[in-house]
Amino acid sequence: MHAVVRQFRDFFVSIRLTVALLILSMILVFWATLAQVELGVWGVQQKFFHSFFVLQEIPHTGISVPAFPGGYFIGGLLLINLLAAHIYRFRFEWRKAGILLTHAGLILLLLGELFTGLMSRESLMRLNEGETKHYSESYRQFELAVMDITDPKFNDVVAIPEAVLGDAGIVQHPKLPFQVRIHQYYPNASMQMRTQTPGLAPPGATAGIGPNITVMPLALNVKDSEGNTPAALVEMIAPEGTLGTWLVSPVLGQPQTFAYQGRTWEIDLRPQRYYQPYAVQLLKFSHDVYAGTDIPKNFSSRIRLTTDDHHEDREVLIYMNNPLRYAGLTFYQAGFDPNNDRNSILQVVRNPNWVMPYIACVMMGFGLVIQFGIHLFGFFRKRSAAA
């Protein structure tokens, strides 16, 4: 074998690499945990774990440089190291069955986390008692919905995702008889009535409620507790000329309407929606506290699940530690609106890999028990032989 190839092989199968990677992963996790105070869980995941390198900005320059290997880098190398070492040294012995099983479980766990990171989706469903919804909403992704609401039976929706809005260009869609031009997109902004803040430059908006409102851009918030409130200035341009420029934002509360070519249109910047072919209706939300305290004892939502094909129509009770799993989605009791005791918040998760960790765990647990059992057994046999 060529010396260089051998060097490569020795590097990837070495236990020193394993130890080095384990220590690096420990430092990464430690650092990421400390960083949560500033960045929040979501920001930390993006920066430290779902990345190949942890980018750190050189102070006062705005230039980011890789400062440390990220989660994908360490996890990936660890996976290669693990596979390479096992393939290279593989020789089945009963004595090593436990170690093999543990490591196979670990591979499965790492792969499972990778797939989960790539494929899972978390969203929220906020329901008032009696309300029915066909969709859940994203935590932090928004979309600009342009709807033709002329027909009272259904709405024809064109949804422009946030990524497109951020590019601030012109959107032309076969379903829309006009172009949508995005003048400005603020990922996070605060809004005030103009009457409260006199002496400002003229508004960008010319139609809807926008001319009365002033927008102040804010820094993007990555903390989990406080969300972002985006805003955008969008202009509708028909072949015969502009229809007006609107200010849109989820904080405005309701969609704005306009008429064009005898049809009624609605525009709204709203959390991105994920539709399902079934409806969830909140029948009753209960929230108990322990007597004489504010400590929550139990939350539960009694919901009615109805599929669009009417083959399923049943009531389900969702409460803490008892989610509803249905059609690839899982509905968890996540919280409630502290100002409204008839409002329930369900977390809706799509995670096709959810069983992988379970299998991995069983394998690793058994593997370790077998391995250490063999050690312990050997130890006692040696002692009794010595005695």
Which stretches of the chain bind another protein, using CB under 8 A?
15-16, 18-19, 22-23, 25-26, 29-30, 32-34, 36-37, 40-41, 44-45, 49, 109, 112-113, 116, 120, 122, 289-293, 295-299, 320-321, 323, 330, 332, 334, 347, 349, 351, 354, 357-358, 360-361, 364-365, 368-369, 371-372, 375-376, 379, 383
Q: How far is the CB of 307 from another protein (least distance, A)?
A: 21
Nearer to another protein, 46 or 192 (CB): 46
Q: How far is the CB of 151 from another protein (least distance, A)?
A: 37
Residue 371's closest CA among 106, 77, 13?
Answer: 106
Nearer to another protein, 97 or 159 (CB): 97
Task: Write the CB contacts of 40 (distance below 8 Å, at least 6 apart in sequence).
Answer: 222, 223, 224, 225
Q: How far is the CB of 14 from another protein (least distance, A)?
A: 8
Q: How far is the CB of 107 from another protein (least distance, A)?
A: 14
Nearer to another protein, 161 or 373 (CB): 373
Nearer to another protein, 194 or 284 (CB): 284
Q: How far is the CB of 93 from another protein (least distance, A)?
A: 15
Q: How far is the CB of 276 from another protein (least distance, A)?
A: 16
Nearer to another protein, 270 or 350 (CB): 350
* Contact present, 271 and 137 (Cβ < 8 Å): yes
Q: How far is the CB of 303 from another protein (least distance, A)?
A: 16
Nearer to another protein, 58 or 361 (CB): 361
Nearer to another protein, 129 or 224 (CB): 224
d(C-alpha 276, C-alpha 364), whole Å: 36
